[in-house]
Amino acid sequence: MQFNFKISGDMSLAVSRTEPLRWNRPSLLVWAQPTGVDISEWTAPSARERFIIISIRPEFLAEHFLTSSVDVPEQLRAFAATMPEKINFCQRPLSAQTFDVATRLINSKFTGPLGLVYTEALALELLCCAVGSFASISGAPSEEYTDRELRCLHAARSALMRQFGACAYDHQACALRRDGQINFDSGLQGGFRRDHIRVQLRCRMRHALTLMRDQSWSVAKVSEAVGYSHPTSFTTAFRRHFGMRPIDVRRVKLRE
């Protein structure tokens, strides 16, 4: 199994019928892939991938991190139980501490025996941060859609990607219904609303991260650019999404 700590880049993994897994923000991706199961993956043009992958045996995780004295969420314990028959993965936001440790490991200036000791120490700290992040996970039921519903939701997502405003949901729902692109029933209405919220938040936060890292905008300016009326509301949403404050991104960028 693998613990993947992404700092920057844009990679997509074909793991779902509903939509690919877009791995384009600082996050932790825990991954277990059985032998003989292949997936497609692709990166955005000119994307600069910066991440750390720590591969371990499930027995190592169970022996050193999942002792009987620790209350371990089922989602993490499942990775250590047996080799899955299909791909098993879980994505979590990076905390500010994890982001800092991963960045220090990537930018390490130690070499030779000292570098090996330093790398091992930070790798173990990253594993501790990763295991600790699962404490806040709550179970959520999976969603199943028919082929017709999938086509409708894909059409809705394409429309939403063209409208970035905070009130896009009602406008897009009405437009899609009027134009005959999507025929809402009660279940699909709820699916479209949930899909809209996820897609819109992901787009706004990804754009905010790009502005903070690549263009070094102020928090207030980024807040306005992604549609928030108050920087405080933006900071709260950013921290909930990425696990760190916008100012933490600026500080890491300055150190780099």
Tell me the two tokens of residue 163.
């409208």
**CA distance readout (Å), 203 to 21, 51, 54, 70, 160:** 14, 21, 28, 37, 10
Give the model's pLDDT for residue 124: 94
Residue 82 pLDDT > 80, yes or no? no
The per-residue pLDDT for 17 is: 61
- pTM to 2 decimal places: 0.56
Q: What is the pLDDT of residue 140?
A: 43
Top mean pLDDT of 36-40, 147-151, 168-172 is at 36-40
Tell me: the pLDDT tens digits for 156-210?
Answer: 666 655 554 444 445 555 555 555 445 545 445 555 555 566 667 777 787 788 7
Sheet holding 11-13, edge to edge: 21-23, 11-13, 41-43
The per-residue pLDDT for 12 is 85
Is the model's pLDDT at 141 over the cut of 50?
A: no
What is the model's pLDDT at position 244? Answer: 77
Two structure tokens written together for 22: 């877009």
pLDDT(213) > 60: yes
C-alpha 129/C-alpha 97 separation (Å) is 8
Q: Is 79 a residue whose pLDDT tops 60? A: yes
Of the listed ranges 18-32, 73-87, 129-143, the least confidently predicted one is 129-143
Q: Can you give the pLDDT at residue 119?
A: 95
Whole-number percent of the chain with pLDDT over 70: 64
pLDDT of residue 142: 46
CA 10 to CA 49: how far, in whole Å?
Answer: 7
The arithmetic mean of pLDDT across residues 6-21, rounded, is: 79
pLDDT for 1 beyond 70? yes
Tell the residue number behind the tokens 């994505």, with chain if given: 91
Average per-residue pLDDT in the chain? 76
